[in-house]
Amino acid sequence: MSGTEGERFAGLHDKYATEAATPTVRDFHAAIRGRFEQRFQESGLPWEEFVFNPEHTLTLEDLTAVEAEMLAGGYRFDHSAQVSVTEEPEKYKAGAAAPAAEASTEPVETVAAGEQLVVGHGDNVFATDANIEGVAREISTLERVMEMLSEGVPEDTIAIIDDCGGTMTAPIIADFKGILCLAGTVRTHLAILSREYGIPCLMATELDGLREGDAVRIETTKKPRDITPEGMAAAATSSGEQRATVWRIA
């Protein structure tokens, strides 16, 4: 392989002007590029012949091998579709601190009439004139979505979604009073949908002590998270002042 050809291939490593958003993306791309580079070197062909030759296309086996290398290193994927974690749960991280199920017998701190208890914080997608109140209802399966699609979304539903389920909940999102998503950022698909539909929403919400059917109040008057690159970078090092509060109420 000539120096010119090697330089041409190496230039592909600098295709993107900015660094990868996460180490996982960086390592995955590096593994894919590494496999192409190895095949290019072993082929002995000029780049123009190599790149258009279908014999050198990466296969499912290649991608599976890359995935296996990542999993062997201890990494586990964040799930964004229920089918993924259902079919191959060993490849996925445990869900975030989801609200306790109806059948849970764990004690939960009581709230006297007229009082409220802080049960979480999240990143506000957009500000409203007043905080909203509703009933916490966990929506984390296709079966629950289909149930609400056929029978209707109960009034005042605050949807608790355990991942960035904008696609899964899109058919019923317009009927939510509010959304608490336990993952994602204010730039993700679900956040975009919530802005378009005008549904108050907190992303990357951390909850502790909220159960299915609890009355809940969300601090949607909180200044929304800054979605500019500068704002996101500043938020990563902030002390949490921008996080909106979630209360359980009596």
Residue ranges of domains in the chain, CATH in brackets: 3-75 (no CATH), 116-249 (3.50.30.10)
Q: How far is CA 51 from the centre of its chain?
A: 34
> What pLDDT is recorded for position 100?
39
Band of the pLDDT at 83, cuts 50, 70, 90? low
> What pLDDT is recorded for position 110?
54
| 54, amino acid identity | P
**Could you give the count of Cα atoms lying within 13 Å of 37 in the half-sphere of its Cβ?**
14
> Computed over its alpha carbons, how large is the radius of gyration of the chain?
23
* CB-CB contact of 204 with 134 (8 Å): no
Task: Report strand pairing: 116-124 vs 244-249.
Answer: antiparallel
Task: Report strand pairing: 178-181 vs 157-161.
Answer: parallel
pLDDT by residue (tens digit) across 100-126? 334 344 444 555 555 788 999 999 999
pLDDT by residue (tens digit) across 131-144? 999 999 999 888 88
pLDDT at 238 over 70: no
* Interval 36-55 mean pLDDT: 88
Higher pLDDT, 93 or 6: 93
Give the span between the Cα atoms of 195 and 126, in whole angstroms: 7
* CB-CB contact of 200 with 128 (8 Å): yes
Query: What percentage of residues in the chain have a pLDDT greater than 90?
Result: 31
* Interval 183-203 mean pLDDT: 91
pLDDT at 236 over 60: no
Give DSSP secondary structure letters for 224-242.
PPP-SHHHHHHHHTS-STT
> What pLDDT is recorded for position 176?
96
113 burial type by CB count under 10 A (0-12 exposed, 13-18 middle, 19+ buried): exposed
pLDDT by residue (tens digit) across 157-180? 999 998 767 788 889 999 999 999
> pTM value?
0.57
pLDDT at 183 over 80: yes
Helices (H) and strands (E) in the chain, counts: 9, 7
Higher pLDDT, 209 or 198: 198
Higher pLDDT, 211 or 2: 211
> What pLDDT is recorded for position 98?
38
* CB-CB contact of 173 with 189 (8 Å): no
Higher pLDDT, 165 or 181: 181
